Structure 1
Amino acid sequence: MTFLFWLISRLPLRVLHAIGGALGLLVARLPGRYGRRLTENFRLAYPDATDDMLAEAARSTGRLIMEMPYFWSRKSLDVPLERFDDYLWPYLNEIRPNGKGVIILTPHLGCFEVLPQSHAQHHPVTCLFKPPHQPWLRDFVERMRARHNISMAPANPRGVRMLVKALKRGQAVGILPDQVPSAGEGTWAPFFGKPAYSMTLVHRLQQLTQSPVVMVFAERLPRGAGYRGHLRVLCDGGMLPEDPSAGAAVINRTIEELIAINPTQYLWGYNRYKHPAGAGLPPDTAGTAPAASNDTIQ
Protein backbone atom coordinates (compact mmCIF):
# COMPACT_ATOMS: atom_id res chain seq x y z
CA MET A 1 0.00 0.00 0.00
CA THR A 2 2.89 2.36 0.73
CA PHE A 3 4.19 1.86 -2.81
CA LEU A 4 0.71 2.42 -4.28
CA PHE A 5 0.30 5.66 -2.35
CA TRP A 6 3.76 6.79 -3.47
CA LEU A 7 2.90 5.97 -7.09
CA ILE A 8 -0.36 7.93 -6.94
CA SER A 9 1.39 10.87 -5.30
CA ARG A 10 3.68 11.26 -8.32
CA LEU A 11 0.75 12.49 -10.41
CA PRO A 12 0.09 16.25 -10.58
CA LEU A 13 -2.59 17.49 -8.21
CA ARG A 14 -4.82 18.66 -11.08
CA VAL A 15 -4.76 15.11 -12.54
CA LEU A 16 -5.61 13.56 -9.18
CA HIS A 17 -8.48 16.01 -8.74
CA ALA A 18 -9.81 15.12 -12.18
CA ILE A 19 -9.63 11.39 -11.44
CA GLY A 20 -11.06 11.82 -7.96
CA GLY A 21 -13.89 14.00 -9.24
CA ALA A 22 -14.94 11.38 -11.78
CA LEU A 23 -14.76 8.54 -9.27
CA GLY A 24 -16.61 10.52 -6.61
CA LEU A 25 -19.47 11.28 -8.96
CA LEU A 26 -19.63 7.65 -10.11
CA VAL A 27 -19.83 6.28 -6.55
CA ALA A 28 -22.50 8.81 -5.53
CA ARG A 29 -24.68 7.77 -8.46
CA LEU A 30 -24.50 4.08 -7.73
CA PRO A 31 -27.51 2.58 -5.92
CA GLY A 32 -26.93 2.55 -2.18
CA ARG A 33 -27.00 4.45 1.09
CA TYR A 34 -24.06 6.77 0.41
CA GLY A 35 -25.59 8.65 -2.51
CA ARG A 36 -28.93 9.00 -0.72
CA ARG A 37 -27.25 10.33 2.43
CA LEU A 38 -25.22 12.86 0.47
CA THR A 39 -28.37 14.20 -1.19
CA GLU A 40 -30.45 14.18 2.01
CA ASN A 41 -27.82 15.95 4.12
CA PHE A 42 -27.05 18.57 1.46
CA ARG A 43 -30.71 19.39 0.86
CA LEU A 44 -31.43 19.49 4.58
CA ALA A 45 -28.84 22.27 4.88
CA TYR A 46 -29.55 23.88 1.49
CA PRO A 47 -33.09 23.06 0.33
CA ASP A 48 -32.52 24.93 -2.94
CA ALA A 49 -29.41 22.90 -3.84
CA THR A 50 -29.38 22.11 -7.56
CA ASP A 51 -28.42 18.84 -9.20
CA ASP A 52 -25.21 20.52 -10.36
CA MET A 53 -24.33 21.40 -6.77
CA LEU A 54 -24.98 17.82 -5.65
CA ALA A 55 -22.78 16.51 -8.45
CA GLU A 56 -19.99 18.92 -7.49
CA ALA A 57 -20.27 17.82 -3.84
CA ALA A 58 -19.80 14.22 -4.96
CA ARG A 59 -16.75 15.22 -7.04
CA SER A 60 -15.29 17.06 -4.05
CA THR A 61 -15.44 13.91 -1.95
CA GLY A 62 -13.54 12.00 -4.62
CA ARG A 63 -10.92 14.75 -4.76
CA LEU A 64 -10.55 14.56 -0.98
CA ILE A 65 -9.83 10.83 -1.20
CA MET A 66 -7.20 11.31 -3.91
CA GLU A 67 -5.51 14.05 -1.88
CA MET A 68 -4.65 11.59 0.88
CA PRO A 69 -1.90 9.69 -0.96
CA TYR A 70 -0.67 12.96 -2.45
CA PHE A 71 -0.06 14.62 0.92
CA TRP A 72 0.79 11.49 2.89
CA SER A 73 3.52 10.31 0.51
CA ARG A 74 5.26 13.55 -0.48
CA LYS A 75 8.15 14.70 1.69
CA SER A 76 7.63 18.40 0.99
CA LEU A 77 4.57 20.64 0.72
CA ASP A 78 4.85 22.06 -2.78
CA VAL A 79 1.35 23.34 -3.59
CA PRO A 80 0.25 26.98 -3.85
CA LEU A 81 -1.26 28.17 -0.56
CA GLU A 82 -3.14 31.47 -0.36
CA ARG A 83 -3.52 33.26 3.00
CA PHE A 84 -1.64 30.58 4.95
CA ASP A 85 1.79 31.98 5.81
CA ASP A 86 0.71 35.64 5.58
CA TYR A 87 -2.61 35.34 7.45
CA LEU A 88 -3.62 32.03 9.10
CA TRP A 89 -0.54 31.15 11.09
CA PRO A 90 0.60 34.72 11.95
CA TYR A 91 -2.91 35.47 13.20
CA LEU A 92 -2.85 32.40 15.43
CA ASN A 93 0.38 33.62 16.98
CA GLU A 94 -1.26 36.96 17.74
CA ILE A 95 -4.32 35.59 19.53
CA ARG A 96 -2.76 32.80 21.59
CA PRO A 97 -2.05 33.83 25.19
CA ASN A 98 1.53 33.77 26.39
CA GLY A 99 2.59 30.25 27.19
CA LYS A 100 -0.72 28.70 26.14
CA GLY A 101 -1.54 26.46 23.23
CA VAL A 102 -4.31 26.79 20.68
CA ILE A 103 -7.08 24.36 19.72
CA ILE A 104 -7.43 24.24 15.92
CA LEU A 105 -10.65 22.74 14.59
CA THR A 106 -10.67 21.43 11.02
CA PRO A 107 -14.10 20.14 9.94
CA HIS A 108 -14.79 17.73 7.08
CA LEU A 109 -14.54 20.62 4.66
CA GLY A 110 -12.16 21.23 1.77
CA CYS A 111 -8.71 19.71 2.20
CA PHE A 112 -7.96 19.18 5.88
CA GLU A 113 -4.79 17.16 5.13
CA VAL A 114 -2.86 20.23 3.96
CA LEU A 115 -3.49 22.23 7.14
CA PRO A 116 -1.31 20.34 9.67
CA GLN A 117 1.55 20.08 7.17
CA SER A 118 1.45 23.81 6.54
CA HIS A 119 1.27 24.60 10.25
CA ALA A 120 4.15 22.19 11.00
CA GLN A 121 6.45 24.29 8.84
CA HIS A 122 6.26 26.91 11.61
CA HIS A 123 5.29 25.18 14.87
CA PRO A 124 4.53 21.66 16.21
CA VAL A 125 0.99 20.33 16.11
CA THR A 126 -0.61 17.22 17.61
CA CYS A 127 -3.55 15.89 15.58
CA LEU A 128 -6.32 13.69 16.92
CA PHE A 129 -7.36 10.86 14.61
CA LYS A 130 -9.77 7.95 14.80
CA PRO A 131 -7.59 4.84 14.38
CA PRO A 132 -8.87 2.03 12.14
CA HIS A 133 -9.79 -1.23 13.84
CA GLN A 134 -7.18 -3.28 11.94
CA PRO A 135 -3.77 -2.96 13.64
CA TRP A 136 -1.82 -2.99 10.37
CA LEU A 137 -3.99 -0.22 8.90
CA ARG A 138 -3.79 1.81 12.10
CA ASP A 139 0.00 1.62 12.03
CA PHE A 140 0.03 2.55 8.33
CA VAL A 141 -2.16 5.64 8.79
CA GLU A 142 -0.18 6.86 11.79
CA ARG A 143 3.15 6.31 10.04
CA MET A 144 2.08 8.05 6.84
CA ARG A 145 0.59 11.11 8.52
CA ALA A 146 3.24 11.68 11.20
CA ARG A 147 6.29 13.71 10.21
CA HIS A 148 8.52 16.49 11.52
CA ASN A 149 6.53 18.67 13.93
CA ILE A 150 3.36 16.52 13.48
CA SER A 151 2.36 14.01 16.15
CA MET A 152 -0.68 11.76 15.76
CA ALA A 153 -2.88 11.17 18.82
CA PRO A 154 -5.37 8.29 18.65
CA ALA A 155 -8.94 9.01 19.74
CA ASN A 156 -8.65 7.20 23.07
CA PRO A 157 -7.58 8.18 26.61
CA ARG A 158 -3.88 8.03 25.67
CA GLY A 159 -4.46 10.34 22.72
CA VAL A 160 -6.45 12.80 24.83
CA ARG A 161 -3.59 12.95 27.33
CA MET A 162 -1.27 13.75 24.41
CA LEU A 163 -3.50 16.68 23.47
CA VAL A 164 -3.56 18.03 27.02
CA LYS A 165 0.22 17.80 27.35
CA ALA A 166 0.74 19.54 23.98
CA LEU A 167 -1.57 22.41 24.97
CA LYS A 168 0.15 22.81 28.33
CA ARG A 169 3.48 23.02 26.47
CA GLY A 170 2.05 25.96 24.53
CA GLN A 171 1.62 24.01 21.29
CA ALA A 172 -1.28 23.58 18.88
CA VAL A 173 -3.61 20.62 18.60
CA GLY A 174 -5.81 19.73 15.63
CA ILE A 175 -9.27 18.14 15.94
CA LEU A 176 -12.05 17.22 13.51
CA PRO A 177 -14.98 18.81 15.38
CA ASP A 178 -17.77 17.17 13.37
CA GLN A 179 -16.62 13.61 14.00
CA VAL A 180 -19.47 11.74 15.71
CA PRO A 181 -18.24 10.72 19.18
CA SER A 182 -19.11 7.57 21.08
CA ALA A 183 -21.97 7.57 23.56
CA GLY A 184 -21.06 9.41 26.75
CA GLU A 185 -18.47 11.57 24.97
CA GLY A 186 -20.84 14.05 23.39
CA THR A 187 -24.08 15.99 23.59
CA TRP A 188 -26.91 16.84 21.22
CA ALA A 189 -26.55 20.18 19.44
CA PRO A 190 -28.23 21.58 16.31
CA PHE A 191 -26.47 21.31 12.98
CA PHE A 192 -28.40 22.95 10.15
CA GLY A 193 -31.51 22.77 12.31
CA LYS A 194 -31.32 19.06 13.10
CA PRO A 195 -29.93 17.54 16.33
CA ALA A 196 -26.49 16.03 15.79
CA TYR A 197 -24.52 14.16 18.43
CA SER A 198 -21.49 16.42 18.88
CA MET A 199 -18.25 16.04 20.79
CA THR A 200 -17.66 17.74 24.13
CA LEU A 201 -13.90 17.09 24.00
CA VAL A 202 -13.10 20.60 22.74
CA HIS A 203 -15.03 22.11 25.64
CA ARG A 204 -13.23 19.92 28.19
CA LEU A 205 -9.81 20.67 26.70
CA GLN A 206 -10.43 24.40 26.88
CA GLN A 207 -11.70 24.17 30.46
CA LEU A 208 -8.46 22.43 31.42
CA THR A 209 -6.00 24.62 29.52
CA GLN A 210 -7.77 27.97 28.88
CA SER A 211 -6.57 27.73 25.26
CA PRO A 212 -8.35 29.74 22.54
CA VAL A 213 -10.35 27.81 19.93
CA VAL A 214 -10.17 28.58 16.22
CA MET A 215 -11.56 26.89 13.13
CA VAL A 216 -9.73 26.74 9.79
CA PHE A 217 -10.72 25.64 6.30
CA ALA A 218 -8.48 25.03 3.27
CA GLU A 219 -10.71 25.79 0.30
CA ARG A 220 -9.80 23.70 -2.75
CA LEU A 221 -9.12 25.90 -5.78
CA PRO A 222 -10.17 24.79 -9.29
CA ARG A 223 -8.00 22.58 -11.50
CA GLY A 224 -5.38 21.81 -8.87
CA ALA A 225 -4.41 25.46 -8.44
CA GLY A 226 -3.84 25.05 -4.70
CA TYR A 227 -5.77 26.06 -1.59
CA ARG A 228 -7.08 29.22 0.05
CA GLY A 229 -7.13 29.49 3.84
CA HIS A 230 -10.08 30.68 5.91
CA LEU A 231 -10.23 31.18 9.66
CA ARG A 232 -12.83 31.83 12.35
CA VAL A 233 -12.01 32.63 15.98
CA LEU A 234 -14.61 31.23 18.35
CA CYS A 235 -15.95 33.49 21.11
CA ASP A 236 -13.45 36.23 20.18
CA GLY A 237 -10.62 34.07 21.49
CA GLY A 238 -12.26 33.67 24.89
CA MET A 239 -13.98 30.77 26.56
CA LEU A 240 -16.80 28.71 25.10
CA PRO A 241 -20.09 28.80 27.04
CA GLU A 242 -19.93 27.04 30.39
CA ASP A 243 -22.61 24.54 29.37
CA PRO A 244 -21.14 21.81 27.11
CA SER A 245 -24.27 21.68 24.95
CA ALA A 246 -24.13 25.43 24.36
CA GLY A 247 -20.43 25.10 23.54
CA ALA A 248 -21.14 22.36 21.01
CA ALA A 249 -23.82 24.58 19.45
CA VAL A 250 -21.28 27.40 19.01
CA ILE A 251 -18.89 25.00 17.29
CA ASN A 252 -21.62 23.67 14.98
CA ARG A 253 -22.71 27.20 14.03
CA THR A 254 -19.12 28.08 13.16
CA ILE A 255 -18.87 25.00 10.96
CA GLU A 256 -22.03 26.16 9.20
CA GLU A 257 -20.45 29.59 8.60
CA LEU A 258 -17.40 28.05 6.96
CA ILE A 259 -19.48 25.64 4.88
CA ALA A 260 -21.37 28.65 3.50
CA ILE A 261 -18.14 29.84 1.86
CA ASN A 262 -18.22 26.83 -0.46
CA PRO A 263 -21.03 24.38 0.36
CA THR A 264 -20.04 21.80 -2.26
CA GLN A 265 -16.74 21.12 -0.48
CA TYR A 266 -18.32 19.68 2.67
CA LEU A 267 -18.36 15.91 3.16
CA TRP A 268 -22.14 15.58 2.93
CA GLY A 269 -21.94 11.81 2.54
CA TYR A 270 -20.57 11.49 6.09
CA ASN A 271 -23.14 10.16 8.56
CA ARG A 272 -23.18 13.33 10.64
CA TYR A 273 -26.60 12.55 12.15
CA LYS A 274 -25.63 9.10 13.37
CA HIS A 275 -27.23 8.11 16.67
CA PRO A 276 -24.56 6.25 18.69
CA ALA A 277 -25.86 3.33 20.73
CA GLY A 278 -26.46 4.44 24.31
CA ALA A 279 -26.40 8.16 23.52
CA GLY A 280 -29.99 8.74 24.57
CA LEU A 281 -32.69 10.37 22.50
CA PRO A 282 -32.12 13.68 20.70
CA PRO A 283 -34.01 16.69 22.06
CA ASP A 284 -36.71 16.66 19.38
CA THR A 285 -37.64 13.18 20.61
CA ALA A 286 -36.85 13.33 24.32
CA GLY A 287 -37.86 16.93 24.91
CA THR A 288 -34.52 17.92 26.45
CA ALA A 289 -30.91 17.31 25.48
CA PRO A 290 -29.16 14.53 27.41
CA ALA A 291 -26.54 15.59 29.86
CA ALA A 292 -22.98 15.81 28.57
CA SER A 293 -20.35 13.46 29.87
CA ASN A 294 -18.83 14.36 33.24
CA ASP A 295 -15.69 12.34 32.60
CA THR A 296 -12.54 14.21 33.58
CA ILE A 297 -9.32 14.32 31.59
CA GLN A 298 -6.10 13.65 33.40
Structure 2
Amino acid sequence: MSRASEQSRLWAPQHWPMWSGLGLFWLCARFLTWSERRRLARGIAWIIFHVVRLRRRVVLVNLRLCFPEKSEEQIRALAFAHYEALAYGLFETTAGWWEPVDQLPAHRVVGVEHLQRALAAGKGVVLLTAHFTTLEICGVYLTARIPVGCLYREPNNPIVAVPMRRHRERVASIAVHFDDLKGLIRALRSGHAIWYAPDQGKRTPGSEILHFFGVPAITNTATAKIAKMTGAAVVPYFARREPDGSYTLVIHPALENFPTDDLSADAVRINRLIEDNIRLAPEQYFWVHKRFKARGEGYPEVY
Protein backbone atom coordinates (compact mmCIF):
# COMPACT_ATOMS: atom_id res chain seq x y z
CA MET A 1 0.00 0.00 0.00
CA SER A 2 1.30 3.48 -0.91
CA ARG A 3 1.97 6.06 1.78
CA ALA A 4 -0.80 8.28 0.34
CA SER A 5 -3.32 5.44 0.57
CA GLU A 6 -2.25 4.67 4.11
CA GLN A 7 -2.65 8.33 5.09
CA SER A 8 -6.11 8.53 3.50
CA ARG A 9 -7.26 5.49 5.50
CA LEU A 10 -6.53 7.37 8.72
CA TRP A 11 -9.37 9.76 7.85
CA ALA A 12 -11.94 6.99 7.45
CA PRO A 13 -15.18 7.55 9.46
CA GLN A 14 -14.32 4.88 12.04
CA HIS A 15 -11.38 7.03 13.13
CA TRP A 16 -13.32 10.28 13.51
CA PRO A 17 -14.06 9.76 17.26
CA MET A 18 -10.36 9.34 17.99
CA TRP A 19 -9.45 12.40 15.93
CA SER A 20 -12.11 14.32 17.88
CA GLY A 21 -10.60 13.13 21.15
CA LEU A 22 -7.14 14.27 20.10
CA GLY A 23 -8.65 17.60 19.08
CA LEU A 24 -10.14 18.03 22.55
CA PHE A 25 -6.77 17.36 24.18
CA TRP A 26 -5.17 19.86 21.81
CA LEU A 27 -7.73 22.46 22.91
CA CYS A 28 -7.02 21.64 26.56
CA ALA A 29 -3.30 22.09 25.95
CA ARG A 30 -4.02 25.38 24.24
CA PHE A 31 -6.53 26.94 26.63
CA LEU A 32 -6.61 25.20 30.06
CA THR A 33 -4.27 25.82 32.97
CA TRP A 34 -2.58 22.85 34.60
CA SER A 35 -4.79 23.15 37.68
CA GLU A 36 -7.86 23.02 35.42
CA ARG A 37 -6.48 19.94 33.67
CA ARG A 38 -5.87 18.33 37.05
CA ARG A 39 -9.50 18.85 38.06
CA LEU A 40 -10.72 17.52 34.73
CA ALA A 41 -8.47 14.46 35.09
CA ARG A 42 -10.00 13.75 38.49
CA GLY A 43 -13.48 13.77 36.94
CA ILE A 44 -12.38 11.46 34.14
CA ALA A 45 -10.78 9.14 36.70
CA TRP A 46 -13.99 9.00 38.74
CA ILE A 47 -15.99 7.93 35.68
CA ILE A 48 -13.45 5.32 34.56
CA PHE A 49 -13.03 3.89 38.07
CA HIS A 50 -16.66 3.88 39.23
CA VAL A 51 -18.69 3.61 36.00
CA VAL A 52 -16.62 2.20 33.16
CA ARG A 53 -14.42 0.17 35.52
CA LEU A 54 -11.77 -0.23 32.84
CA ARG A 55 -9.24 -2.81 34.12
CA ARG A 56 -10.26 -1.96 37.69
CA ARG A 57 -10.02 -5.59 38.77
CA VAL A 58 -6.49 -5.85 37.34
CA VAL A 59 -5.38 -2.76 39.27
CA LEU A 60 -6.96 -3.91 42.53
CA VAL A 61 -5.44 -7.41 42.23
CA ASN A 62 -1.98 -5.96 41.54
CA LEU A 63 -2.17 -3.59 44.49
CA ARG A 64 -3.43 -6.28 46.89
CA LEU A 65 -0.59 -8.57 45.86
CA CYS A 66 2.13 -5.92 46.07
CA PHE A 67 0.93 -4.14 49.21
CA PRO A 68 -0.53 -6.86 51.48
CA GLU A 69 0.06 -4.64 54.51
CA LYS A 70 -2.55 -2.12 53.29
CA SER A 71 -6.21 -2.31 54.25
CA GLU A 72 -8.88 -2.72 51.58
CA GLU A 73 -9.85 0.93 52.07
CA GLN A 74 -6.24 2.00 51.47
CA ILE A 75 -6.00 -0.24 48.40
CA ARG A 76 -9.11 1.28 46.84
CA ALA A 77 -7.90 4.80 47.60
CA LEU A 78 -4.56 4.01 45.96
CA ALA A 79 -6.35 2.46 42.97
CA PHE A 80 -8.42 5.61 42.47
CA ALA A 81 -5.28 7.75 42.79
CA HIS A 82 -3.76 5.59 40.07
CA TYR A 83 -6.68 6.26 37.73
CA GLU A 84 -6.28 9.95 38.43
CA ALA A 85 -2.59 9.66 37.51
CA LEU A 86 -3.52 7.79 34.32
CA ALA A 87 -6.05 10.43 33.29
CA TYR A 88 -3.67 13.26 34.10
CA GLY A 89 -1.00 11.37 32.17
CA LEU A 90 -3.08 11.86 29.01
CA PHE A 91 -2.83 15.62 29.49
CA GLU A 92 0.89 15.32 30.26
CA THR A 93 1.49 13.20 27.15
CA THR A 94 -0.36 15.47 24.74
CA ALA A 95 1.21 18.56 26.29
CA GLY A 96 4.61 16.98 25.65
CA TRP A 97 3.62 16.51 22.01
CA TRP A 98 2.35 20.04 21.39
CA GLU A 99 3.72 22.48 23.97
CA PRO A 100 7.27 23.91 24.13
CA VAL A 101 9.24 22.59 27.07
CA ASP A 102 9.50 26.07 28.60
CA GLN A 103 5.69 26.19 28.85
CA LEU A 104 5.46 22.89 30.73
CA PRO A 105 5.39 22.72 34.55
CA ALA A 106 8.57 23.21 36.56
CA HIS A 107 10.98 20.32 36.77
CA ARG A 108 14.40 19.44 38.11
CA VAL A 109 16.95 16.90 36.87
CA VAL A 110 19.16 15.43 39.59
CA GLY A 111 22.33 13.50 38.78
CA VAL A 112 22.74 14.32 35.09
CA GLU A 113 26.50 14.10 35.64
CA HIS A 114 26.14 10.31 36.14
CA LEU A 115 24.70 9.93 32.65
CA GLN A 116 27.29 12.26 31.15
CA ARG A 117 30.10 10.31 32.79
CA ALA A 118 28.75 6.99 31.50
CA LEU A 119 28.33 8.38 27.97
CA ALA A 120 31.89 9.68 28.00
CA ALA A 121 33.13 6.08 28.23
CA GLY A 122 31.87 5.62 24.66
CA LYS A 123 30.26 2.20 25.11
CA GLY A 124 26.65 3.32 25.29
CA VAL A 125 24.25 3.50 28.20
CA VAL A 126 21.24 1.42 29.13
CA LEU A 127 19.07 4.05 30.84
CA LEU A 128 17.26 1.67 33.14
CA THR A 129 13.77 2.69 34.22
CA ALA A 130 10.19 1.42 34.49
CA HIS A 131 6.73 2.23 33.16
CA PHE A 132 5.23 5.20 34.99
CA THR A 133 2.35 7.45 33.93
CA THR A 134 4.80 10.38 33.70
CA LEU A 135 7.12 8.73 31.19
CA GLU A 136 6.15 10.89 28.17
CA ILE A 137 6.37 14.35 29.74
CA CYS A 138 9.49 13.46 31.70
CA GLY A 139 11.02 12.15 28.48
CA VAL A 140 10.58 15.64 27.05
CA TYR A 141 12.34 17.15 30.05
CA LEU A 142 15.20 14.65 29.87
CA THR A 143 15.87 14.88 26.14
CA ALA A 144 15.85 18.69 26.36
CA ARG A 145 18.83 18.34 28.72
CA ILE A 146 20.84 15.54 27.13
CA PRO A 147 20.51 13.34 23.99
CA VAL A 148 18.69 10.11 24.80
CA GLY A 149 17.26 7.46 22.49
CA CYS A 150 14.42 5.10 23.26
CA LEU A 151 12.87 1.74 22.64
CA TYR A 152 9.39 2.19 21.22
CA ARG A 153 6.30 0.16 20.54
CA GLU A 154 3.64 1.42 18.15
CA PRO A 155 0.28 1.91 19.88
CA ASN A 156 -2.51 -0.32 18.62
CA ASN A 157 -4.53 2.71 17.55
CA PRO A 158 -3.08 4.15 14.30
CA ILE A 159 -4.41 7.63 15.07
CA VAL A 160 -2.50 7.86 18.35
CA ALA A 161 0.55 6.43 16.59
CA VAL A 162 0.81 9.44 14.26
CA PRO A 163 1.56 12.22 16.82
CA MET A 164 3.47 9.81 19.06
CA ARG A 165 5.81 8.79 16.22
CA ARG A 166 6.39 12.41 15.22
CA HIS A 167 7.10 13.38 18.81
CA ARG A 168 9.62 10.60 19.41
CA GLU A 169 11.39 11.27 16.13
CA ARG A 170 11.65 14.91 17.20
CA VAL A 171 12.97 14.47 20.75
CA ALA A 172 14.83 11.13 20.76
CA SER A 173 18.40 10.82 19.50
CA ILE A 174 17.44 7.43 18.02
CA ALA A 175 14.31 5.27 18.18
CA VAL A 176 14.62 1.46 18.19
CA HIS A 177 11.66 -0.92 17.97
CA PHE A 178 11.33 -2.91 21.20
CA ASP A 179 11.64 -6.22 19.30
CA ASP A 180 14.76 -5.15 17.38
CA LEU A 181 17.53 -6.58 19.55
CA LYS A 182 20.16 -6.13 16.81
CA GLY A 183 19.14 -2.49 16.41
CA LEU A 184 19.44 -1.96 20.16
CA ILE A 185 22.90 -3.54 20.24
CA ARG A 186 24.03 -1.36 17.30
CA ALA A 187 22.72 1.79 18.98
CA LEU A 188 24.54 1.03 22.23
CA ARG A 189 27.78 0.14 20.47
CA SER A 190 27.49 3.45 18.63
CA GLY A 191 27.50 5.25 21.98
CA HIS A 192 23.81 6.11 22.41
CA ALA A 193 21.96 6.23 25.72
CA ILE A 194 18.77 4.18 25.32
CA TRP A 195 15.68 4.45 27.55
CA TYR A 196 15.00 0.86 28.61
CA ALA A 197 12.21 -0.46 30.85
CA PRO A 198 12.30 -4.24 31.55
CA ASP A 199 9.52 -4.26 34.15
CA GLN A 200 6.56 -5.58 32.15
CA GLY A 201 6.26 -9.35 32.13
CA LYS A 202 6.47 -11.09 28.76
CA ARG A 203 7.14 -14.78 28.24
CA THR A 204 10.39 -15.07 26.25
CA PRO A 205 13.07 -17.77 26.01
CA GLY A 206 15.20 -15.79 28.48
CA SER A 207 12.51 -14.86 30.98
CA GLU A 208 12.30 -16.38 34.45
CA ILE A 209 9.79 -16.49 37.28
CA LEU A 210 11.29 -14.21 39.93
CA HIS A 211 9.88 -12.15 42.76
CA PHE A 212 8.42 -8.69 42.17
CA PHE A 213 7.20 -7.14 45.43
CA GLY A 214 7.62 -10.60 46.89
CA VAL A 215 5.24 -12.16 44.35
CA PRO A 216 6.40 -14.57 41.60
CA ALA A 217 6.24 -12.84 38.20
CA ILE A 218 7.61 -13.34 34.70
CA THR A 219 10.81 -11.32 34.73
CA ASN A 220 13.00 -10.07 31.90
CA THR A 221 16.63 -11.13 32.36
CA ALA A 222 17.89 -9.46 29.19
CA THR A 223 19.31 -6.34 30.84
CA ALA A 224 22.39 -8.15 32.08
CA LYS A 225 22.82 -9.95 28.75
CA ILE A 226 22.70 -6.67 26.82
CA ALA A 227 25.19 -5.03 29.16
CA LYS A 228 27.54 -8.00 28.82
CA MET A 229 27.30 -8.07 25.01
CA THR A 230 27.96 -4.36 24.56
CA GLY A 231 29.93 -3.22 27.60
CA ALA A 232 27.29 -0.50 28.08
CA ALA A 233 26.87 1.03 31.50
CA VAL A 234 23.50 0.47 33.19
CA VAL A 235 22.35 3.80 34.64
CA PRO A 236 19.11 3.82 36.66
CA TYR A 237 16.72 6.68 35.96
CA PHE A 238 13.36 7.38 37.59
CA ALA A 239 10.96 10.30 37.43
CA ARG A 240 7.87 11.31 39.36
CA ARG A 241 5.32 14.07 39.69
CA GLU A 242 5.54 15.91 42.99
CA PRO A 243 2.50 16.98 45.07
CA ASP A 244 3.01 20.61 43.97
CA GLY A 245 2.68 19.61 40.29
CA SER A 246 6.38 19.87 39.47
CA TYR A 247 8.51 16.93 38.33
CA THR A 248 11.68 15.37 39.68
CA LEU A 249 13.93 13.32 37.42
CA VAL A 250 16.67 11.40 39.21
CA ILE A 251 19.61 9.80 37.39
CA HIS A 252 21.56 7.46 39.63
CA PRO A 253 25.20 6.37 39.33
CA ALA A 254 25.85 3.44 36.98
CA LEU A 255 25.32 0.08 38.63
CA GLU A 256 28.52 -1.32 40.06
CA ASN A 257 29.48 -4.98 39.67
CA PHE A 258 26.89 -5.38 36.94
CA PRO A 259 26.42 -7.64 35.14
CA THR A 260 27.52 -10.69 37.09
CA ASP A 261 27.56 -14.33 36.03
CA ASP A 262 24.16 -14.83 37.70
CA LEU A 263 21.39 -13.56 35.41
CA SER A 264 18.69 -14.33 37.98
CA ALA A 265 20.44 -12.38 40.73
CA ASP A 266 20.96 -9.45 38.34
CA ALA A 267 17.26 -9.44 37.42
CA VAL A 268 16.21 -9.60 41.08
CA ARG A 269 18.52 -6.66 41.81
CA ILE A 270 16.75 -4.65 39.11
CA ASN A 271 13.34 -5.65 40.47
CA ARG A 272 14.33 -4.40 43.93
CA LEU A 273 15.53 -1.12 42.45
CA ILE A 274 12.25 -0.65 40.59
CA GLU A 275 10.23 -1.53 43.70
CA ASP A 276 12.10 1.08 45.77
CA ASN A 277 11.25 3.78 43.25
CA ILE A 278 7.63 2.70 42.85
CA ARG A 279 7.19 3.16 46.60
CA LEU A 280 8.15 6.84 46.24
CA ALA A 281 5.01 7.47 44.14
CA PRO A 282 3.03 4.21 43.96
CA GLU A 283 -0.03 5.75 42.30
CA GLN A 284 2.09 6.74 39.28
CA TYR A 285 3.19 3.21 38.32
CA PHE A 286 1.36 1.35 35.50
CA TRP A 287 -0.76 -0.96 37.63
CA VAL A 288 -3.15 -1.56 34.70
CA HIS A 289 -0.59 -3.99 33.28
CA LYS A 290 -1.18 -7.67 34.13
CA ARG A 291 2.19 -8.07 35.82
CA PHE A 292 1.42 -11.51 37.25
CA LYS A 293 -0.20 -13.18 34.23
CA ALA A 294 0.73 -16.43 32.44
CA ARG A 295 3.16 -17.66 35.06
CA GLY A 296 2.63 -21.27 34.12
CA GLU A 297 1.91 -24.53 35.89
CA GLY A 298 1.88 -24.35 39.67
CA TYR A 299 0.91 -20.69 39.86
CA PRO A 300 -2.71 -19.55 40.32
CA GLU A 301 -4.39 -17.35 37.72
CA VAL A 302 -4.90 -14.17 39.73
CA TYR A 303 -6.85 -12.14 37.16
TM-score interval (norm. to shorter): 0.7 to 0.9
Unaligned runs of 5+ in 1: 287-298
**Residue identity in the other structure for 1:93:** Q
**Aligned equivalent of 1:273:** 292
Q: Secondary structure at the match of 2:135?
A: coil
**Aligned equivalent of 1:290:** none
**Aligned equivalent of 1:141:** 164
Map 1:175-254; keep pairs closer than 5 Å. 175-184=196-205, 186-222=207-243, 225-233=245-253, 235-236=255-256, 238-254=257-273
Unaligned runs of 5+ in 2: 1-18
Q: Which has the higher helix share?
A: 2
Offset, 1:162: 3.0
Rounded Cα–Cα distance in structure 2 between residues aligned with 1:196 and 1:221: 29
Residue 179 of structure 2 is aligned with which of 138, 147, 156? 156
The change in CA–CA distance for 1:81 and 1:101 in structure 2 (over 3 A counts) is farther
Q: Secondary structure at the match of 2:170?
A: coil
Map 1:54-203; keep pairs closer than 5 Å. 54-84=79-109, 87-96=110-119, 98-133=121-156, 137-157=160-180, 160-184=181-205, 186-203=207-224
Rounded Cα–Cα distance in structure 2 between residues aligned with 1:93 and 1:234: 11
**Residue identity in the other structure for 1:274:** K
8 A Cα contact 1:216 1:231, kept in partner: yes
Offset, 1:185: 5.0
Q: Runs in 1 of length 4+ with deviation above 6 angstroms?
A: none
8 A Cα contact 1:104 1:175, kept in partner: yes
**Residue identity in the other structure for 1:101:** G
Offset, 1:191: 0.5
Q: Cα RMSD (Å) of the superposition? A: 2.8
Aligned sequence identity (%): 26
Matched residue count? 275
Residue 64 of structure 2 is aligned with which of 21, 40, 43? 43
- Identify which range, 246-255 or 138-147, moves more after superposition: 138-147
Instruction: Work out which of the two has the higher radius of gyration on C-alpha atoms and give 1 or 2.
Output: 2
8 A Cα contact 2:95 2:137, kept in partner: no
Residue 78 of structure 2 is aligned with which of 53, 73, 78? 53
The change in CA–CA distance for 1:135 and 1:39 in structure 2 (over 3 A counts) is closer
Please give the TM-score of this superposition, normalised by the length of structure 2.
Answer: 0.79
**Aligned equivalent of 2:4:** none
**Residue identity in the other structure for 2:262:** D
The change in CA–CA distance for 1:235 and 1:65 in structure 2 (over 3 A counts) is same
Offset, 1:5: 4.6
Q: Secondary structure at the match of 2:115?
A: helix
1:22 aligns with 2:43: yes
